[in-house]
Each structure stands twice: as C-alpha cells, then as structure tokens.
Structure 1
C-alpha cells in the first residue's frame, strides 16, 4: 500500500500540470500578500467591514480570495487531471495488473491527492506566517472574524491553525466529490464542468454548501458558535456520501 502511495505521489508531481498549478497558486499567494502590504487593510467581501492587517491575522485574512480560486478551479483541475485523465487515457489498465486489491489503487490515488492538497494549504500557511512576522506591523492583539472583542497573540496561533485545518478538510470534501464525478464522466473537461455545475447547483438549497465554491466566510462562521453545527454536518455528509459512491463505483467500473 505504501508503495502505491509513493508511486502516485511521484506521478502527480512529475506532471507539468501539477507544477504549473502549484506555481500559479504560489504567485497568487505572493501577489495577495503584496497587495495587503500596500493597502494595509482588507475589505471583507460580504459587507463585514474593513480589517487592519498585521502579523497575527495575515495568514488567514489573505485566504479570503485565494481560497475561492483554490477550491473553485485550481484543486478541481488537479483532481480531474489525475483522476479522469488516467481513466480516460486507459493508464489504470496497467496499474491494476500489479498484485494489489483493486480498491487499494483508488485509495492510494486519493491519499496521494490528499497529501498534495495538504502541500498546497500548508505552503500558504507557511508563507503567511513568515510574511506576517517579517514585513507586516506587529501587534499584540487581533480581532477574530465577526468579533468586536480583541484577542491576544496567544490565540492567534490556534485560530490560524484551526482555520487551515478546516480549509484542508473542505478541500478534501471537494476531492471526494471530484472522485465520485470522475468515475461517471471520464473526459477531464466534462468532469470539471460537471463538478463546477454540481457545486453551484446544490448550495442554494442549503447555504453552508457554498463552501464547495467559496469556503472563506463559511469557515469563519464555523469557527464561531453560530452556524457551526450545520457546517460540520454538511462537511461530514459530503465526505461520507461521495467517498462511498467513489469506492463502490470504482469496484464496479470496467476499465
């Protein structure tokens, strides 16, 4: 099983498309940090006001726009390229000849993509922390999202880490959705369009599902008391249902 994971990790990062997407992501992070440094403040996109950027809140404030592009386009493109791309090209016909159970190949693929997702979000976290403490004003307090009460610097680390943990879980939910769709629609372009359509179609029925398109506000609300139960229910249900569909379909799919 470990050998499958290593093989999949090598295949993912040996592709030019992965390196290109990672480079685009890095450039977006850097560009957003530079913009926040120049302006000194950030205006929330949903009318919550304006926040002064400092070393304590930069790592999560900078993800307001970046998380939108990350989960709407960059990661789904990566997932579709690795899942639908291999199925459509017939590459998996060679993989299943190795002496492993069939589900182990799909599990290894998804695990490798999960680790790759963590690389993306972890890189943003690292850059945000380094940039915050080197080029932004230092502060002893900061305001959590939607709070009028100042929090101490000791709270900043845990708040930031929890934000990135939840962001990663939302990205993994998008991975599970992508894995289910890709097994029914093998052409990469059609798979991507279908994933985008499904993500946009379902959220009007239940507001927290907007996390599959624009997760920033929903994550921020989930870190507060209000709305957290609905958010976590949606997240868990998506992961469970989509992962079940994905593995059942993989076991039955003719390749």
Structure 2
C-alpha cells in the first residue's frame, strides 16, 4: 500500500526525506543553532567538573562521579534544547517554508502533504537525535576521564549499580528524553500550522512549553524534562508516574492533529 501511494505521489520516501534535509541544512539558522548547542556541551561539562555537584531536582543534590555524570549533563543542556534548539528548528521547518514560499515550490510536484509533514518531523527528529546521542557520548566519556572515579554509584530507581548498570540507566534516561524532544517537535509543527510566521511560531511554541506547566502537572516535563525523568525512573509516584503514557499520548495526538491539519489546508493558494 505504501508503494502504491509513493507511485501515485511521484516522489519516494527516501527522496522526500533527502529533499527536506537539503532545505533544512540550507538555512544558516540551522547551522547556527547546532553550533551554539555543540559549543555549550563542553562548557557545561566544564561547569559540572567545577561544581562537582548536581541535582535530581531542586531538593535533592547529588555528588557527581565517573558513572553518573551523563544524565546530569543533559539536565544542564535540556533548557537549551527546549527553549532554543527545538522551537527554532520547528518554526523554521514547519513555518518558514510556508512564509518563504519554499513549500509551494515543493508542492508543484504531486507530493502528499501528510507525507511531507511526517518527513519534516522525521528530519528534525534525526537532527535532535544526533545531538542527544552526542550529548550522551560526551557526558559518558567526560565523566569517565575527568570526574571522580567510582566503581559503583547510586541512581534513583536503580539503586547501587556498577559501570554496566550506570551505562544502561544513562541510555534509558536519554531515550526517554529523546521521545520528549520528538513530542516537542510535533508541538512546534502544530503551532507553526496555526501561526505560519516563523517568529510568531517560535514564540507560540515557547508559550505552549511554559503554559503546559500551568495546564497540568502531568505536562511539567515540557519545561523540566530531566526532573520528570528522574522521578519516573525513581518510581517516586506523583504526576510523573505516568510519564511514559503521557508522552505516547502526546506523540499520537501531534501525529493525528498534524497530519489532519496539513492534509486539510490548501498550501498552494
């Protein structure tokens, strides 16, 4: 069925993804955002080494060592991901192409608008995924070399673990964070659908991220993802106990609403 749809649209999925990736990386802002994030990674590593302490949340400090540094590096960088990287990339990709007319050129060919929306989401997800993976690798390597050596460490929900357990915990932590980031990209796509202007879409996405905290405690992860993940993995209960289900529902909602709205609108008018 997918092959039939691709034949009808005239553009294969691979070509669609490559075309979208080319549009994304032709923008100077894309490279600027990536460069800023990559610059902050070593700076935050240096900050953690100097402080030698971080926090599970505002009330629980923790001493850093060679095994537990990676999750806390993302804790420091998540605010940059939430307030700069994802909103700006989403506003440019979903909204900038509309306001600049690039999307009209792309739709000269018989391309499914639903597939185009999903391609945009997938390309941004890949970019954010690579940045997330790089952060995990940087935190793991930096911790093992520069932080206090430890044969075992204590992590919320995992108890006392060795090197293998800490590595698995870090991968779980970053995996959940990546799912949240993908959901934020979907939110950015929905906001850009309502407000095609990239600047207003950026501001609108920030408003949704901050407003989620006031709408429901279950959406607090939109603003402080690391605190929510620590509580989720630590099985402390409360509003973050259902974090996995909440993220899944949010992803499904963004996919359904996004594909419906992109299919419904006549972009070439």
With the shorter chain as reference, the TM-score category is over 0.9
Size of the aligned set, in residue pairs, is: 253
SS in 1 for 2:242: helix
| Structure 2: distance between partners of 1:42 and 1:19 | 30
Pairwise CA RMSD of aligned residues?
A: 1.7
Residues 171-208 of structure 1, C-alpha deviations (whole Å, 9 max, x = no match): 01101111111111101111111122122223223213
Residue pairs, 1:92-241, within 5 angstroms = 92-145=103-156, 149-227=159-237, 229-241=241-253
Give the one of 24, 44, 48 matched to 1:12. Answer: 24
Deviation, structure 1 residue 213: 1.6
Instruction: Give the alignment partner of residue 84 of structure 2, picking from 73, 95, 104.
Output: 73
State the partner residue of 1:32: 44
Q: Which runs of 5+ in 1 are unaligned?
A: none
Shift of 1:59: 0.8
Q: Distance in 2 between matches of 1:224 and 1:145?
A: 4
Evaluate the alpha carbon distance shift between residue 145 and residue 68 of structure 1 in structure 2; reply closer, same or farther with a 3 A threshold. farther
Correspondence 1:84 to 2:95: yes
Long gaps (5+) in structure 2: 1-12
TM-score (norm 1): 0.93
Q: Which runs of 4+ in 1 moved over 6 A?
A: none
**Residues 1:41 and 1:225: Cα distance change in structure 2 (over 3 Å):** closer
User: SS at 1:150's partner residue?
Assistant: strand
SS in 2 for 1:67: helix
Query: What is the Cα deviation at residue 123 of structure 1?
Result: 1.2
1:245 equivalent among 254, 257, 263 = 257
CA contact (8 A) 1:96 1:105 kept: no
CA distance in 2, matches of 1:39, 1:213: 23
Q: 1:14 to 1:95 in 2, by over 3 A?
A: same
TM-score, L = length of structure 2: 0.88
SS in 2 for 1:42: strand
TM superposition shift of 1:146 = 7.1
Alignment CA distance shift 1:65-1:191 (3 Å)? same
Aligned-pair CA distance for 1:18 = 1.2
- Conserved 8 A contact 2:74-2:136: no
